Amino acid sequence: MALRKTALLSGITAAVLGLAACGGGTGSGSNNNNSSGSKQVSSIKLVAAEYSADHTKAFWDQFAATYKQKYGITLDVQIISWNDIAQQSTTMVQNGNPPDVLNINYYSSYAKDNLLYSADDVLPASVQSDLLDSFKTSGTFNGKLYGFPDLSSARALFYNKTLFSRAGISAPPKTWDEFEADAKKVQALGNGVVGYAEPLGPEEAQAEFSIWTFNNGGDWKDASGKWTVNSDKNIQTLQFLKKLSVTDKVTQNNPGKTNRTDGAFPLFTGGKAGMIVGFGPLSGTLDKDKKVDYGIAPMPTNGGIAPQTYGVTDYLNAFKKNGNQQALKDFYELYYQPDQVNTFIKAEGFLPVTKSGLDVFKSEPALKVYIDTLPNVHLTPNQDPVWDKVLLAVQQQIGAAVAPSGDPKKVLDALQKTAEAGG
């Protein structure tokens, strides 16, 4: 009996090893690091961040098929969740094996390390002129365009119409004072309802803070490029956010330790929050669940300025590798075709990055709030590699400022120091 077991075991092992060795296939695309520079690659690799289970892979699979058909080059697609992409991309670069195209949320540090092609190398001229100017500016490092946007999103104030009417509020707030008053009214409804869901946890704290401070006239840098993290306007904003939570008590519990995905958003989609800063995918969820009658409005401002739209783009970074320049040119040419890029954007619920895209999306009434302001959208200073580090510092430190014992000025002073020290 033992002998049979042995035989079985050895048999399984042998079979499995045989299977694995031949069925596995080789790893990174072949011919990626040719010494003869003029030889072109036969396959390139894309590392794509996963926005959604339903759409991301499906899009890139059909894109790869079209790409192969059109240009004869294989596109290996690796889908990685947003939670893991920082670790994975760093590991790849650390081992000298970056992908040919990396879909990630920053670019200038890669450009600074001289790892990327610029637009002149791989982006067709027609695409360059089609990209929205605000994104081109934001994607330009050292005078060259390196940050090619894959999609964009803009944030706006979402409000619960049902709660508003119950609280006797007729229109969404336009100023901070109105906002505070409205939040108090909704909070007074009781029954587990909060006036405003404020996520300042590490997930996207910089987004929440940015949109508020932009609408107070504050910013991360001033026009001359100097860091203004601890400017008076920024401190005032953070103090306001702290006041909402600690003094007025119109936010959810512990905003400094609440993330969007499993904290603030569920409160709003469950009808338990009067207002929240939201974006396209949140609309998608709300429309699917059909539980909340919601409206979208421009952010309230302080000091009488015009409402600022906070925008975010992610990037498709083009890595310099031997022989892949033409393949990358083909990639971007195909990606920015209106029927490709806009299909992707529409499926995932985001906003266009090209002027031609604006025309396509203009006809959607639900997106009007964003589309009108998209050309003038206000972004974070992505073109500065130092920002890539400051961003992380902000995510890790800013939440502490809105705790009862938090000190907004101290936190922003510390961040200013980090920024000035070069991250």
Task: Tell me which residues in 173-202 interact with another protein (CB under 8 A).
Answer: 192, 201-202
What CA–CA distance (Å, rounded) separates 406 from 1? Answer: 70
Q: How far is the CB of 33 from another protein (least distance, A)?
A: 11
- Least distance between another protein and beta carbon 116 (Å): 10
366 belongs to the binding site for another protein (CB under 8 A): no
Fill in the per-residue mask, 383 to 402: x = in contact with another protein (CB under 8 A), - = not in contact.
--x--xxx-xx-xxxxxx--
Judge contact between 370 and 152, C-beta under 8 A: no
Sign of the four-CA dihedral 71, 76, 80, 86: negative
Q: Which is nearer to another protein, 176 or 387 (CB)?
A: 387
**What values do phi and psi take at 50, rounded to 5?**
-90, 110
For 405, residues 6+ apart whose C-beta sits below 8 A from its C-beta are: none
Q: Taking CB under 8 A as the criterion, which residues in 50-79 touch another protein?
A: 50-55, 57, 76-79
**Binders of another protein in range 84-143 (CB under 8 A):** 84, 86-95, 97, 109-110, 112-113, 115
- Nearest CA-CA partner of 48 in 129, 103, 122: 103
Q: Does 20 bind another protein (CB under 8 A)?
A: yes
Please count the residues of the chain.
423
Smallest gap from Cβ 25 to another protein, in A, equals 7
Residue 234 in the binding site for another protein (CB under 8 A):
no
Residue 342 and residue 356: Cα distance in Å, rounded?
9
Q: Measured between alpha carbons, how far is 148 from 313 in angstroms, rounded to an integer?
A: 9
Among residues 46, 53, 132, 99, the alpha carbon closest in space to that of 335 is found at: 46
**Binding range to another protein, per CB under 8 A, among 67-75, 266-274, 352-360, 374-382:** 266-274
Which CB, 1 or 125, lies closer to another protein? 1
Site residues (CB under 8 A) for another protein, limited to 273-332: 281, 284-285, 289, 291
Q: 12 or 171: whose CB is closer to another protein?
A: 12
Select from 174, 233, 272, 378 the one that contacts another protein (CB under 8 A): 272
Q: How far apart are the first and last CA of the chain?
A: 66
